[in-house]
C-alpha cells in the first residue's frame, strides 16, 4: 500500500483559489490566448502566497475540455513554465469535460493524501470563443447505430430539455424564476465586494482598440427579470423550456487553486481555507446528464458518513436551471434555499467548462469565512456525456466566534 512517510493518509487542505474574470465567447478575451489566462492564475496564486517556495510545488494539473491549439501541448506543464515556476515542477493536462478542474483537484488531492505530493496547483481553462465544445471531435458512429446513447446526448441543451421531460413539475416559469434569482444574487455579491477579492485582473489585447484591463466578469446581466426571460426563444426544441436566459453561456476563463497536505501547510505558514472531506463521481444516461450530481452526491455522502442535512452551504454549477432544480427537488431543498449558491451561479457568471469546478470551490471557501456556524459545504456539477461530480469540504472556521472567526 502506498502511504505517506508517516504511514497514514494525510489531511488535504485548500490553501487558496483564484480565477480570471470570465468573458463571453468572442468577447473580451477574443484575442487573448487560453494558456496566458492560466499563466495569470498561477502567477497570482504564487503572489498571494509568498510563504510558498515555488520549488515546493510538486505538480501543476490543468484541465481543458478541448485540448487543441492554445489549450493543448500538455497545458499544465507549459503553463507552469510560462508562469515562471522552476523547470523541476512537472505538470499535465486532464479532461472530464465540465468537471475537469474538479478532477484536477481530486486527483492531486488524492496524491497528496497518500504522500506522493506535498503541494499541488490544480485548475482549469476553457476558451470557448476559440475552441467551441466538440471542436475536432469524431464521435464513434456505434453510439447511435447501436443505440448506446440517444442522439440528443451530444447536444447539451437537448439533454436539459430531456431533464425537463423527466421532471414535468420543473416548468419553464420555474426555471426562469431560478435564473432571475441567480442574476440578482450575483449582482448583490458584486455590490457587497464578495467576488472581486478572488479575481485576477487580466490585460486583454484588442486589435482595434488596444489594451484593456479586465477586472470583472463580462456575462452577468444585472436587472434580469422573469418577464424579460419569458420572451426568449427556445433554440433546442420548438415550444421548449431551455433558453439562453435560464442556462449558462458560452464563455472563456481560467481558474486555479493551491492544495497542500495539512502538516505541510502548517510548516510553511500557509492558510487553511477548507479541508477536503471526500468526493464522488457517478455516471448516468448521457441524454439526461443534468441529473448526474444526484448520484455523485449520494455516493460522496455515503462514503463520508454524512447526510444532506449535514451540509450547510452548497455551490452547485448552474449549467442549466433545470438540472439545479432537479437536484434540489431530489434532496428536499427549496428552489430559493439560502444555503444554495448565495453569490449566484453560472447562469450569471458563465461556465467556461473545465474551469468551473474551482470557481465553485473558491466561492465556497469565501462563504466559509462568513459562516463559522457551518461545518460542511459541498460543490456539485453535472458533466457532459452523463456524469456528476461532487466534493465535500470542512470549514476550518467552524465554531469560532468574534473577530477571529
Catalytic residues: 98, 351, 382
Please, what sign has the CA dihedral across residues 26, 28, 32, 33? negative
Which residue's C-alpha cell is 455579491?
Answer: 189
DSSP assignment of 235-285 equals: TTSTT-S--SSSB---EEEEEEEEEEEHHHHHHHT---SEEEEEEEEEE--
Phi and psi at residue 102, in whole multiples of 5°? -60, -45
Cβ neighbours of 398 (radius 10 Å):
16
CA neighbor of 310 nearest in space, from 360, 401, 374: 374
> How buried is residue 306: exposed, middle or buried, by Cβ count under 10 Å (0-12/13-18/19+)?
middle
Question: Measured between alpha carbons, how far is residue 176 from residues 55, 126, 155, 243, 322 in Å?
Answer: 48, 26, 21, 9, 9
CA neighbor of 377 nearest in space, from 363, 366, 364: 364
Q: Characterise 396 by phi-psi region: left (phi > 0), alpha (psi -120 to 50), beta (else).
A: alpha
Q: How many CA atoms lie within 13 A of 313 on its CB side?
A: 28
With vertex at residue 352, the alpha carbon angle to CA 348 and CA 358, rounded to the nearest 5 degrees, is 90
d(CA 394, CA 399): 12
Phi and psi at residue 82, in whole multiples of 5°? -65, -30
Question: For residues 386 and 285, is the Cβ–Cβ distance under 8 A?
Answer: yes
User: Would you say how long the chain is, in residues?
Assistant: 405
With vertex at residue 183, the alpha carbon angle to CA 179 and CA 186, rounded to the nearest 5 degrees, is 135
CA neighbor of 118 nearest in space, from 126, 129, 127, 109: 109
Amino acid at each position: 500500500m502506498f502511504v505517506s512517510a508517516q504511514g497514514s493518509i494525510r489531511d488535504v487542505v485548500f490553501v487558496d483559489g483564484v480565477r480570471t474574470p470570465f468573458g463571453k465567447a468572442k468577447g473580451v478575451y477574443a484575442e487573448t490566448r487560453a494558456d496566458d489566462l492560466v499563466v495569470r492564475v498561477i502567477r497570482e496564486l504564487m503572489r498571494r502566497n509568498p510563504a510558498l517556495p515555488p520549488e515546493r510545488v510538486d505538480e501543476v494539473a490543468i484541465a481543458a475540455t478541448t485540448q487543441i491549439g492554445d489549450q493543448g501541448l500538455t497545458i499544465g506543464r507549459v503553463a507552469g513554465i510560462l508562469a515562471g515556476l522552476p523547470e523541476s515542477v512537472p505538470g499535465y493536462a486532464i479532461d472530464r469535460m465540465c468537471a475537469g478542474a474538479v478532477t484536477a483537484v481530486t486527483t492531486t488531492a488524492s496524491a497528496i493524501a497518500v504522500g506522493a505530493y506535498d503541494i499541488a496547483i490544480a485548475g482549469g481553462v476553457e476558451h470557448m470563443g476559440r475552441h467551441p465544445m466538440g471542436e475536432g471531435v469524431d464521435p464513434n458512429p456505434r453510439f447511435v447505430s447501436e443505440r448506446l446513447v440517444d442522439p440528443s446526448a451530444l447536444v447539451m441543451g437537448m439533454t436539459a430539455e430531456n431533464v425537463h421531460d423527466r421532471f414535468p413539475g420543473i416548468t419553464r416559469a420555474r426555471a426562469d424564476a431560478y435564473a432571475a434569482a441567480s442574476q440578482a444574487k450575483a449582482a448583490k455579491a458584486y455590490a457587497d465586494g464578495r467576488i472581486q477579492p478572488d479575481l485576477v485582473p487580466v490585460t486583454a489585447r484588442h486589435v482595434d482598440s488596444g489594451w484593456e484591463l479586465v477586472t470583472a466578469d463580462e456575462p452577468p446581466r444585472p436587472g434580469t427579470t422573469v418577464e424579460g426571460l419569458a420572451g426568449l426563444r427556445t433554440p433546442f426544441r420548438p415550444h421548449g423550456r431551455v433558453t439562453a436566459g435560464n442556462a449558462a453561456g458560452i464563455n472563456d476563463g481560467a481558474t486555479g487553486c493551491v492544495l497542500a497536505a495539512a502538516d505541510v501547510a502548517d510548516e510553511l505558514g500557509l492558510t487553511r481555507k477548507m479541508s477536503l472531506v471526500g468526493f464522488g463521481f457517478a455516471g448516468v444516461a448521457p441524454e439526461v446528464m443534468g441529473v448526474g450530481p444526484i448520484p455523485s452526491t449520494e455516493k460522496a455522502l455515503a462514503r463520508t458518513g454524512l447526510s444532506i442535512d449535514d451540509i450547510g452551504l452548497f455551490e452547485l454549477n448552474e449549467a442549466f436551471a433545470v438540472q439545479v432544480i432537479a437536484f434540489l427537488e431530489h434532496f428536499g431543498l427549496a428552489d430559493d434555499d439560502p444555503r444554495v449558491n448565495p453569490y449566484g451561479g453560472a447562469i450569471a457568471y458563465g461556465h467556461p467548462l473545465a474551469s468551473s469546478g474551482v470557481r465553485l470551490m473558491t466561492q465556497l471557501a469565501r462563504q466559509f469565512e462568513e459562516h463559522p456556524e457551518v461545518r460542511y459545504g459541498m460543490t456539485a456539477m453535472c458533466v457532459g456525456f452523463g456524469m456528476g461530480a461532487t466534493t465535500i469540504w470542512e470549514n476550518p472556521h467552524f465554531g469560532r466566534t468574534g473577530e477571529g472567526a
